[in-house]
Amino acid sequence: MPIYHLGLDDTDSLKMGCTTYIAALLIERLLKTSSFIDYPNLIRLNPNIPWKSRGNAAVCLRFESDCDAEELLGMATEYVEKYRDREDPKNQPGIAICQSDTVPVGLKTLGKKALSEVVPIEEALNAIGNYNVKYQTIRGGRGIVGALAAIGNTLEGDHTFELAVYRGKVLWGKKREVDFESVRRYDSEVGDGSFNNIDPESKRLLVTPHGPDPVLFGIRGESPPLLMRALDIVKFAGGERWVIYRSNQGTDAHLSQRRRIGSLKPYMAAVVEGTVCKEPMRIHGGHVISRLSDGSGEIDVAAYEPSASFRNALAALVQGDAVRAYGGVKVHGQDGITLNLERMEVLDLVRVKGRNPRCPGCGKSMKSEGKGKGYQCRRCGRKEPANMLDGERKICVGNYMPPPKAMRHLTKPLKRYGHEKSGWSGPPVVFYGVF
């Protein structure tokens, strides 16, 4: 039977819908006539795209079928038209289907680029070339970029899995009923087999989204058998169906490109290496801003208030420290750009023994009030005891990350280091069910 790769993207909005839910409905229908050669693929694309609805997720279904491509495209379009948000002009679905035993190189190239850059619609359509690809766009059709990129991201390297549980339509927009203690118990039992279920700092449940979409909860992990255990352990109400996806979540797939500061463009995901050239400072709202230089240019780097204790790592740096910064390039003001930090590696620290401390409140350098009398902030007047300065740095060489509650879907948590995978071949085991 012919092999098909069916990509979907941008079928949802902030008010309704979910691309993975439409995929779940398609899976149910396709299982009657088709044989899947891979788990459904959940592909997170560049998280810095400004027009994304939520987590910038696209889906690809890979299967064998006796149906022809036009019939399959029509089937997918039917489901998208039924469940998309027709009122939101930002909702611009794209659907693509490629008939091929192996994914064409051009689509793989597109898929990789879409992880860290902005890909125009025209460029995505040009990538189709002479390949056997049929597609459908709705409204502006911006989702065709993600649909084709999902086909191109074949997850040949590191990958994870996600169990997504969906709720019935009568519950969309209502409070989700997922028992916190049962998630905690599952998290404890599987250990490193699952990640980012509960935030350790705030004790917040992370498996439940907050919008009115069909997702009841989602649990990410290293293997399908470990995720299946969640169906027995986690207590919840209102489940309609479930799907296990193979995904690039938690892999740092978007942060594979090392770039020079001078080459950065808005909305890129990038890794830059440089030295601190401006003292970090805390600004209104609790955010911390510093500045890096690598010889090709300079850029502000920022750790925002939701990143909690991660801000303290950035605030502890001083001029001359060497770091490798990972994050997304965002527009700041009319002409400037800022690198919003997702992770930071401290490579080297300068000696600052005898240096006056910075104010814990505003980050400004404090002045001594005399031997043994402590320090006072030059800016806000805050006073600190003399023993605040011990002559040693408050930071070490190493890797620093925000807590799970502030992580992006793609960011690889420390829990996953040492659990990276290389390659996978099907067919999949059980990956779909109804309650």
pLDDT tens for 109-141 read 999 999 999 999 999 999 888 898 999 999 988
**Class (C level, CATH) for 3-154:** alpha beta
CA 136 – CA 7 distance, rounded (Å): 11
- Look over the chain and give the mean of its residue pLDDT values, rounded to a whole number: 92
CB atoms within 10 A of CB 264: 17
**pLDDT tens-digit readout, 209-219:** 988 999 999 99
Is residue 211 classed as helix, strand or coil in its secondary structure? coil
**What pLDDT sits at residue 15?**
81
**What pLDDT sits at residue 389?**
44
Helices (H), 159-309: 180-190, 224-233
CA 242 – CA 238 distance, rounded (Å): 12
Question: Which residues are registered as beta bridge partners of 94?
Answer: 9, 137
Q: Sign of dihedral through CA atoms 19, 25, 28, 32?
A: negative
**pLDDT tens-digit readout, 258-278:** 999 999 999 999 999 999 999
CA 123 – CA 113 distance, rounded (Å): 11
Provide the CB-side half-sphere exposure for 244 (13 A, CA): 23
CA-based angle 398:402:404, to the nearest 5?
125
DSSP 248: -
Question: Which residues are registered as beta bridge partners of 289?
Answer: 281, 302
DSSP per residue over 112-164, as a string?
HHTTTS---HHHHHHTTTTSSEEEEE-TT-THHHHHHHHHH----SS-EEEEE
- One of 3.30.70.20, 3.90.1170.50, 2.40.50.1010, 2.60.40.10 is the CATH number of 256-352+393-406, namely 2.40.50.1010
> In Å, how far are 292, 312, 323 from 360, measured between CA atoms?
22, 10, 22
The identity of residue 129, as a single letter, is G
Classify the phi-psi angles of 235: left when phi > 0, otherwise alpha if psi is within -120 to 50, otherwise beta: beta
Residue 365 has pLDDT above 80, yes or no: no
**pLDDT tens-digit readout, 63-106:** 999 999 999 999 999 999 999 888 888 889 999 999 999 999 99
Domain ranges of the chain: 3-154, 160-251, 256-352+393-406
Q: Respond yes or no on whether the N-terminal peptide bond of residue 427 is cis (omega within 30° of 0).
A: yes
Residues of the chain with pLDDT > 90, as a percent, come to 75
Closest CA to 243 of 41, 53, 70, 419: 41
339 neighbors 329 (Cβ within 8 angstroms):
yes
Beta strand ranges found along 197-238 (DSSP E)? 215-221, 236-237
In this structure, the strands spanning 239-247 and 41-44 are: parallel
C-alpha 235 chain-centroid distance: 26
Residue 170 has pLDDT above 80, yes or no: yes
Instruction: Determine the CATH number of domain 160-251.
Output: 3.90.600.20
CA 160 – CA 214 distance, rounded (Å): 22
The identity of residue 248, as a single letter, is N
Residue 386 has pLDDT above 80, yes or no: no
DSSP 406: G
Is residue 218 classed as helix, strand or coil in its secondary structure? strand
**pLDDT tens-digit readout, 302-317:** 998 888 789 999 999 9
| Confidence band of 52 (pLDDT split at 50, 70, 90) | confident
Question: Which residues are registered as beta bridge partners of 237?
Answer: 177
CB atoms within 10 A of CB 85: 17
> In Å, how far are 201, 255, 293, 316, 321 from 352, measured between CA atoms?
30, 32, 20, 11, 11
145 neighbors 127 (Cβ within 8 angstroms):
no
Residues of the chain with pLDDT > 70, as a percent, come to 97
Please give the model's pTM, rounded to 2 decimal places.
0.89
Q: Sign of dihedral through CA atoms 173, 175, 178, 184?
A: positive
**pLDDT tens-digit readout, 195-208:** 999 999 899 999 99
More confidently predicted of 355 and 36: 36
**pLDDT tens-digit readout, 284-304:** 888 999 999 999 999 999 998
